[in-house]
Amino acid sequence: MLPTHISRSSPASSPTRGFPPIKSFIGRPLFRWIPLAIGCIFVLWIVARQLSYIEWVGRIPGPIDPHHKRPIPGEWGISPPPPRPHRVPTLWSRRAEQVREAFKYAYKGYDTYAFPRDELLPVSGESVNNFNGWGLTAFDALDTLWIMGLSEEWHRVVQLAANATFPCTSTSYAPFFETVIRYLGGLLSAYALSGEPILLSRADDLGKMLLPAFNTTSGLPMYAVNTVSGRTRGGWSGHALWSEVLSNQMEYKYLAHLTGRAEYFHKTERAMELMEQASHNFTVEGLFATMWDIELGTPANTQYSVGAFADSAHEYLLKQYLLTGRSEARARDLYLLSVNGIINNLLYITPRRHLLYVTDIHANQPSHKFEHLSCFLPALLALGVHTLDLSAQDKQLHQWAAQGLAETCWITYADQATGLGPDEMTMTSSLGDDSELEWDGRWIKHVRQWEKSRVTEAWMVASDVPPGVGPLKPMRDTAGRDYMNLKSGYLLRPETVESFYILWKTTGEVRWRERGWAVFDSLQKYAKTPQGFASVYNVNKLPVDLKDEMPSFFLAETLKYLYLLFSEEDILPLDRWVLNTEAHPLPVFQWKTWEKAEYDISH
Ligand code: DMJ
């Protein structure tokens, strides 16, 4: 007897071996079911797909597990970045593509070795939590992922953001300035670009959690805040730094506009009121102190700068005016005051090469230090010239300053063995011990002298531009450079290429693109590691020594600016987008009638 489950006609016992001809099946009942079975499988497959789609749309995705198999983009119910246009490639679009590849490379290093921690350590392949531990690089890079059309990475970070609760332990604090410009700015710009509502929702959460920073007698923000308890703490100086006070207005005003929460506007605007009051009482006309008394809301020192402690405050005066549809005249007027204060007091030229630089002054004494951080200033000046209704004379002066400063920022790269720029320099401010002549390097004096001589000695004046503006030639010999590297490292900072980008956009002069390309070339040659890109210890030394850090702003800013500089498309038109100090684009908006009434905006 055969066991019951084996049929007598099973292949093993069948006398017919091999695959029978199709014809022989026609008319047999089993074959007639095959099309129906295929149809059913197809319908089930469609239903299954719909279910998983509904599941992704309908709920917040689960917690991120970096080792978990990644879901396929498209099944997430999150809008993907738009497809990038297919055009005939040009020299510059190919270069933009190479920047995109470099970005992908750096991000992959972060994704592989560091996600969801804050930053990659690109030499050791380790990671570090140095800004709250919420995934800083991912948040900071989010809008660049969108702009470059990297959908898989984009989806993963949106999922991370969707789950973010922005925790602090009972003893930890989130630094207010950095958290606003990097995390909040990152979320808001990614929301503005993609329309993904969950990003706005998280931005609103974070905006609220950081608000206690403003609970001071003056209303100026504290250095850091515990996002859970709302406790705050001051910084090392015991005062508020000017850059920290005035680098949250773009983010909080845009958030106020999107959410209708008036509190956001009022809290962030308080610093603007205090700046206006201070402007009636300047120690040096147009210059705002680098430190502010957190209780009184008044200047706490007589140091003036465009570099560390001050930099982005200058930026936010103009940029919040542009962002809010040019409706807030106070911001514009304070920008013009401050920028004229800079031109009249902080700009100098060196005696031999006539390098134009911006320095800081303390109790009326210029330090003659020039920081890489200050290399954002050419971009700001050029943006002001491009967007504001300035007199012809001011336009010219501001444009010369922008051009000359960007030229110096460039030359501090081009002079070095690596082609990368040092973080800080001491500029030569005298003719040397063997000279009996005094050198007064204040740029505005040289400009006025040059203007006079153009009128009285026109036949002798060789140049169309005043000293400090003309083109410079790179110099390898350190002795004749007119400056010394004080902090010799290149920290992957964006400011110089940021200025190249804005100068290219506003003047159309291709030399800014060429210089950006030279910087990118050096980055590829000297800063690349097997895991990402690293800061360089000494820009004038070959072979290079690399520092084990890849700051998030390298992805948020440096590579974004280079990509925008080379792209043939006008991805972020300057009249529609304003980039915050971390290069996160926010869209220009107009206050509604009720908002103007509520916020007392009259222009
Ligand atoms: C960035 O985080 C921001 O641009 C900030 O305003 C100052 N500098 C760093 C990069 O150098």
pLDDT of 454-466, one tens digit each? 877 666 656 789 9
CA of 246 to the centre of ligand 1 (A): 14
**Ranked by mean pLDDT, which of 126-135, 453-462, 463-472 comes out on top?**
126-135
Cβ–ligand 1 distance for 309 under 6 Å, the answer no
CA of 548 to the centre of ligand 1 (A): 19
Kindly tell me if the per-residue pLDDT of 75 is higher than 70: no
Distance linking the first and last C-alpha atoms of the chain: 100
Cβ–ligand 1 distance for 558 under 6 Å, the answer no
Output the CA angle 568-571-575, nearest 5 degrees: 120
Cβ–ligand 1 distance for 312 under 6 Å, the answer yes
**pLDDT of 534-586, one tens digit each?**
999 999 999 999 999 999 999 999 999 999 999 999 999 999 999 999 999 99
Cβ–ligand 1 distance for 582 under 6 Å, the answer yes
Cβ–ligand 1 distance for 268 under 6 Å, the answer no
Give 472 or 55, the one with higher predicted confidence: 472
Kindly tell me if the per-residue pLDDT of 45 is higher than 90: no
pLDDT number for residue 13:
36
CA 540/CA 406 separation, integer angstroms:
20
Whose C-alpha lies nearest to ligand 1, atom 8? 373
CA of 582 to the centre of ligand 1 (A): 6
Best mutation site among 136, 247, 311 for ligand 1, i.e. most ligand atoms within 8 A of its Cβ? 311
Kindly tell me if the per-residue pLDDT of 273 is higher than 60: yes
**pLDDT of 191-223, one tens digit each?**
999 999 999 999 999 999 999 999 999 999 999
CA 361/CA 317 separation, integer angstroms:
21
Ligand 1 atom index nearest CA of 247: 6
**pLDDT of 83-92, one tens digit each?**
887 788 999 9
Cβ–ligand 1 distance for 137 under 6 Å, the answer no
**pLDDT of 169-199, one tens digit each?**
999 999 999 999 999 999 999 999 999 999 9
pLDDT number for residue 581:
98
pLDDT number for residue 84:
80
pLDDT number for residue 31:
64
Instruction: Show the tokens assigned to 536.
Output: 């360089």
Q: In the predicted model, what is the mean pLDDT of the chain?
A: 90
Residues 6+ apart with CB under 8 A from 126: 113, 114, 548
Which amino acid is located at 281 in the chain? Answer: N
Confidence grade of residue 113 (pLDDT, cut at 50, 70, 90): very high
**pLDDT of 419-432, one tens digit each?**
999 999 999 999 98
CA of 141 to the centre of ligand 1 (A): 14
Count of H-run helices and E-run strands, the chain: 20, 19
Ligand 1 atom index nearest CA of 182: 2
CA 207/CA 348 separation, integer angstroms:
40
Kindly tell me if the per-residue pLDDT of 601 is higher than 80: yes
pLDDT number for residue 476:
93
The pTM of the whole model exceeds 0.85: yes
Confidence grade of residue 56 (pLDDT, cut at 50, 70, 90): very low
* Overall average pLDDT of the 304-321 stretch: 98
Kindly tell me if the per-residue pLDDT of 130 is higher than 60: yes
* Overall average pLDDT of the 98-106 stretch: 98
Q: For residue 510, how many other CB atoms are within 10 A of its CB?
A: 10
pLDDT number for residue 244:
98
pLDDT number for residue 86:
79
Kindly tell me if the per-residue pLDDT of 295 is higher than 90: yes
Cβ–ligand 1 distance for 581 under 6 Å, the answer yes
CA of 179 to the centre of ligand 1 (A): 12
Calculate what percentage of the chain has a pLDDT beyond 70.
88
Q: Is 444 exposed, middle or buried (0-12, 13-18, 19+ CB in 10 A)?
A: middle
